[in-house]
């Protein structure tokens, strides 16, 4: 596998894990909207695991760059970073929304 192919694989892993985390977070919100908070919690934990995996990939790139191995910044790399950041932010906001759902249900 060439160095470029290896980098593309690394980038696609960031995108895959980030996208999966975001999808799971939205599934958790849908479960919470139905009152299924156990499922929502399970899905958020699964989203966390995907974010952890994505961070591992990202951290390996950062570590290599800190050690002097320069990483080419491509549009695909920028897209991967954007994908990961929006997944993290979506999960954070969804956690707040689920908390609000729980509070509203408790008032019923």
Alpha helices (runs of H) in the chain, residue ranges in sequence order: 3-33, 37-66, 75-107
What tokens does 22 get?
A: 């975001």
Tens place of pLDDT per residue across the chain (108 aa): 888 888 899 999 999 999 999 999 999 999 999 999 999 999 999 999 999 999 999 998 889 888 988 888 889 999 999 999 999 999 999 999 999 999 999 998
Question: What residues act catalytically?
Answer: 79
**How far apart, in whole angstroms, are the C-alpha atoms of residue 88 and residue 21?**
8
Q: Is 82 annotated as a binding residue?
A: yes
CA 101 to chain centroid:
22
The Cα diameter of the chain in Å comes to: 60
Structural domain spans, the chain: 3-107
Q: How far is residue 70 from each of residues 58, 62, 65, 106, measured CA to CA in Å? A: 14, 9, 5, 53
Q: pTM for the whole thing? A: 0.90
Architecture of the CATH domain 3-107 = Up-down Bundle (1.20)
Selection from 1, 18, 2 nearest residue 77 by Cα: 18
């Amino acid at each position: 596998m060439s160095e470029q192919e290896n980098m593309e694989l690394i980038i696609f892993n960031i995108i895959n894990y980030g996208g999966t985390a975001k999808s799971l977070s939205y599934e958790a919100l849908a479960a919470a909207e139905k009152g299924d908070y156990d499922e929502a919690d399970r899905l958020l934990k699964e989203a966390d695991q995907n974010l952890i995996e994505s961070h591992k990939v990202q951290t390996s790139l950062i570590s290599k760059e800190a050690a002097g191995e320069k990483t080419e910044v491509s549009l695909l790399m920028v897209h991967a970073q954007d994908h990961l950041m929006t997944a993290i932010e979506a999960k954070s906001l969804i956690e707040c929304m689920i908390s609000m759902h729980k509070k509203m249900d408790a008032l019923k």
